[in-house]
Amino acid sequence: MRVEDEARAVDGMRMELVQVRSGVSKLGQLRDELLERLKELKDELERVRGEMGRSEEIKEEIEMMRKELERGRLAVEYEKKVHADNLEQSKAMEKTCFPWLERLKICVLNLPTQKKEHEQQLQLLQTQVRDMLKLMEIVRWHMGEIHILMLLVYIR
């Protein structure tokens, strides 16, 4: 009986050994799966870190574009203001020039009767009109240059 008991004990140990080997095999497979999953997670982490670095670049680009847009808006507002000022000055110049032109017409009509007096006035008015027109052209030219320079300064 003792031998039978020992044989049963050995059989029990064999079965237990088979179960332990099976468990070790399953643990080995589980370890391999976990290592593979760990590798996948590390790869995913690297990819996400790379994307985060790119997102910072994109945020910086967006901020730069926002600032550029704001400068553009300021330039447009400035342009509107300058245009309004130029229009006002142009109207004021026109108001100044039209009376001179009317006076010139009257002088031309009265020229035959008051030739000498009117010739002097006509010459004076013509000179003034020419000077005024030249002055207007110079002012317009300078205003254009100033406008361009102001835009360049604003853009910078």
CB atoms within 10 A of CB 107: 20
pLDDT in tens, 107-119: 777 767 777 776 7
- C-alpha 54: how far from its chain's center? 19
pLDDT in tens, 45-100: 888 887 777 777 888 888 999 999 999 899 999 989 988 888 888 888 777 777 77
Residue predicted with more confidence, 153 or 33: 33
- Cβ atoms of 154 and 75 closer than 8 Å: yes
Tally of domains in the chain: 1
Q: Which of 55, 78, 61 is nearest to 152 (CA)?
A: 78
pLDDT in tens, 122-143: 788 888 888 888 878 887 887 8
Q: pTM score, two decimals?
A: 0.35
Range of the domain at 88: 2-155
Structure tokens of 153? 């300064």
- Cβ contacts of residue 97 below 8 Å, gap of 6+? 129, 132, 133, 136
- Cβ atoms of 129 and 101 closer than 8 Å: yes
Helix (H) or strand (E) run with residue 23 in it: helix 2-110
- Cβ atoms of 111 and 119 closer than 8 Å: yes
